[in-house]
Amino acid sequence: MFRSLRQLTRPDPASNRSLLQYVKSNTTCRNATTHHRCFSATNRRHIMETTGFTENQMTVREAVSTLCAKFPNSYWQEHDQNEEDPKDFHAALAKDGWLGIALPETLGGSGLGISEATMMMQTIAESGAGMAGAQSIHANVYATQPLAKFGTLEQQQETIPRIISGEWRTCFGVTEPNTGLDTLRLRTTARKSSDGHSYSVTGQKIWITCAQVARKMMLLARTTPLEEVRKPSEGLSLFCIDLPDPSSREGSGLDMRKIKKMGGRAVDANEVFFDNYRIPADTLVGTEDQGFKIILHGMNAERCLLAGEALGLGYAAVARAAGYARERVVFGRPIGANQGIAHPLADAYMRLEAAKLATYHAARLYDQSTAAEKEIAAGGDKSIGTIRQDAVGVAANSAKYLAAEAAFTACERAVLTHGGMGYAMEYDVERWLRECLVPRIAPVSREMIMNYIGEKVLGLPRSY
Ligand SMILES: Cc1cc2nc3c(=O)[nH]c(=O)nc-3n(C[C@H](O)[C@H](O)[C@H](O)COP(=O)(O)OP(=O)(O)OC[C@H]3O[C@@H](n4cnc5c(N)ncnc54)[C@H](O)[C@@H]3O)c2cc1C
């Protein structure tokens, strides 16, 4: 069993084991709750209440926090200002096995759940790395899930171990400029060749994170025209395709252009253009025309991860603001002595704590329903499958919404607490405020979550 923080943070060099292996070997009871543990891996002040998390989650939090401490805020400031990919951060996480946290052990992953992966993403954002740090690995953790579940053994064995080791990176290509949130009407097509050996992809994607550095893209495209399907959710297919590096893109039918953006500038976001781009038929993941069902499976997991990332940003911002409010003296006393400064921060903290409960509740439901699914598939008793998918959906969407709103409140108040210094790069809070808009917009907007709750929970008429 894991005994001390020293043991965790300084694994025996002779054994050459990574921190993640420590997590795996030092934790045996996934669902056991744990007592509060003093969090002292770094000098930073962590304010989240950790009572009630599992031993696994706390071990992940401590180990990831220790790793992130090697990438201080100055690293993220520079990479943001220079729009430079944090490739050494990605490599450090890969080296210790973190990218495979929620991937099967048979493919080199750790087989942990979304509850642990959410904690990992939160810890990364909370370290000061913010959304940039989280987004530099997000798709590798999340977009690989459909491949692990629906891909052929060949596809899995070719790609997943390379993603886990950091040799390859991946991105997720869904959003399109002309259809936006109306995903079912996306216009990118993949037409099968007459010999059945390949598809030809034509269309455009937008906002694709990390496409410049990714070797693979999980691409959603229409394989049967909308007019020929019974429901718009049919006729879409998922592919795991190669992205040629810039030197061999010329004439390939694939091109991309970086988007200048407000925050998270260390990671690239792109428009991607396909013009009769040829992909082998064996890049299809799962059954043709069933791609939407396949990605739907992972959407609740992604909402949990995003909620964790938002929480991380929010806690980092409130902790930083409280520190400043304790030290900054104006009118002969610390500004934190003014309730006009203290109360908004206390309120922001409580909003984060509430969103935290919603987030880890959703992640737990997700993991329990996935475990039940696996057990039933292996011939287990069907009556164990008592968690309805729509309950998981409501929990995951609510968590993403609440965490994103709480993060925005926290980051805005952190900037205001700093007065003019809140506007200075050096104090980080301006970077976090710019970044905290992302969980409000992506992967699904606040408005669409409210549409969903209005319709599915309150029984109101569908508004779109
Ligand atoms: C930094 C960043 C990274 C991203 N990374 C990726 C990525 O890696 N891969 C990927 O595929 N996508 C990515 N996205 C895209 C993201 O998922 C979309 O931006 C998001 O889903 C919103 O779609 P849209 O921008 O087209 O908005 P639109 O669909 O144009 O919507 C615009 C506004 O109208 C509102 N609206 C639209 N319809 C309704 C309605 N019926 N009722 C109420 N309100 C409505 C929306 O809520 C929104 O506020 C990223 C986006 C950002 C900003």
- Give me ligand 1 centre to Cα 189, in Å: 20
Ligand 1 binding pocket includes 443 (Cβ within 6 Å) = yes
Probe target for ligand 1 pocket from 138, 172, 181, with the most ligand atoms within 8 Å of CB:
181
Cα 313 to Cα 438: distance, rounded to the nearest angstrom = 11
Instruction: Return the minimum-mean-pLDDT range out of 41-50, 154-163, 249-258.
Output: 41-50
442 CB under 6 A from ligand 1?
yes
190: tokens are: 């993949």
Which residue, by CA, sits nearest to atom 13 of ligand 1?
A: 207
Q: What is the model's pLDDT at position 385?
A: 62
The answer to whether the CB of 212 is under 6 A from ligand 1 is: no
User: For residue 8, what pLDDT is reported?
Assistant: 34
* Whether the Cβ atoms of residue 49 and residue 24 lie closer than 8 Å to each other: no
What's the pLDDT score for residue 461? 97
Alpha carbons 210 and 233: distance in angstroms, whole number: 27
| Rounded Cα–Cα distance for residues 444 and 7 (Å) | 41
Looking from the CA of residue 443, the nearest atom of ligand 1 is 17
Closest Cα to atom 24 of ligand 1:
180
pLDDT band for 10, please (50, 70, 90 cuts): very low
**Do β-strands 269-280 and 198-209 pair in parallel, antiparallel, or remain unpaired?**
antiparallel
Is the C-beta atom of 254 inside 6 A of ligand 1?
Answer: no
Token pair 């071990």 is at which residue? Answer: 59
The pair phi, psi for residue 423, each rounded to 5°, is -95, -5
User: Which pLDDT band, with edges at 50, 70 and 90, does 24 fall under?
Assistant: low
Average pLDDT for residues 442-450, to the nearest whole number? Answer: 97
**Distance separating alpha carbons of residues 314 and 413, to the nearest angstrom:** 10
Whether 16 shows a pLDDT value over 70: the answer reads: no
Q: What is the 448 CA–ligand 1 centroid distance (Å)?
A: 9
CA dist., res. 426 & res. 152, Å (int) = 48
Q: What is the pLDDT of residue 122?
A: 98
* 441 Cα to the center of ligand 1, angstroms: 6
- CB 332 within 8 Å of CB 295: no
What mean pLDDT comes out for the span 347-366?
98
pLDDT at 176 over 60: yes
- Whether residue 32 is predicted with pLDDT greater than 50 in this model: the reply is no
CA–centroid distance, residue 446 to ligand 1 (Å): 10
Distance CA(189)–CA(207), nearest Å, equals 18
Confirm or reject: Cβ of 450 under 6 Å from ligand 1: no
Task: State if residue 163 touches ligand 1 by the CB under 6 angstroms criterion.
Answer: no
CB of 174 closer than 6 A to ligand 1?
A: yes
Q: Between residues 20 and 320, which one has the greater pLDDT?
A: 320
Tell me which of 144, 186, 207, 305 to substitute to probe ligand 1's pocket, judged by most ligand atoms within 8 Å of the beta carbon: 207
Interval between CA 356 and ligand 1 midpoint (Å):
24
CA of 212 to the centre of ligand 1 (A): 20
The pLDDT value recorded for residue 376 is 84
User: Is pLDDT above 80 for 279?
Assistant: yes
Report the pLDDT averaged over residues 217-239.
97
* CA 332 – ligand 1 centroid, Å: 47
The reported pLDDT for the residue numbered 18 is 55
* Among the listed residues 213, 288, 287, 290, the one whose alpha carbon sits nearest the alpha carbon of residue 246: 213
What is the reported pLDDT for 46? Answer: 86
In the predicted structure, residue 12 carries a pLDDT above the cut 60: no
Q: How far is the CA of 444 from the centre of ligand 1 (A)?
A: 6
401 lines ligand 1 (CB under 6 A): no
pLDDT given at position 21 = 60
Q: What percent of the chain has pLDDT over 90?
A: 84
User: Could you report the per-residue pLDDT of 376-405, keeping only the tens digit for each?
Assistant: 888 887 766 678 889 999 999 999 999 999
Q: What share of the chain is helix, strand, coil (3-state, %, to 5)?
A: 55, 15, 30
Residue 163 CB-density burial (10 A; 0-12 exposed, 13-18 middle, 19+ buried): buried
Atom of ligand 1 nearest to the CA of 174: 11
What's phi and psi for 190, nearest 5 deg?
-125, 110
Task: Specify the pTM.
Answer: 0.92
Judged against a pLDDT cut of 70, whether residue 344 lies above it is answered with yes
pLDDT attached to residue 378: 82
Tell whether the model's pLDDT for residue 4 goes beyond 60: no
CB of 299 closer than 6 angstroms to any ligand 1 atom: no
Q: Evaluate if residue 426 carries a pLDDT over 70.
A: yes
Instruction: Summarize pLDDT for 285-311 with one digit per residue, the tens.
Output: 999 999 999 998 789 999 999 999 999
pLDDT digits (tens, 9 = 90+) for 155-166: 999 999 999 999
φ and ψ at 324, to 5 degrees?
A: -65, -40
Q: Is 209 in the pocket of ligand 1 (CB under 6 A)?
A: yes
Q: What are residue 288's DSSP bridge partners?
A: none
Which atom of ligand 1 is found nearest the CA of 437? Answer: 53
Q: What are the beta bridge partners of residue 254?
A: 274
Indicate the pLDDT class of residue 22, thresholds 50, 70 and 90: low
Residue type, 63: A
Give me the mean pLDDT over the 422-436 stretch: 98
Number of residues in the chain: 464
Q: Are 193 and 200 in contact (CB under 8 A)?
A: yes
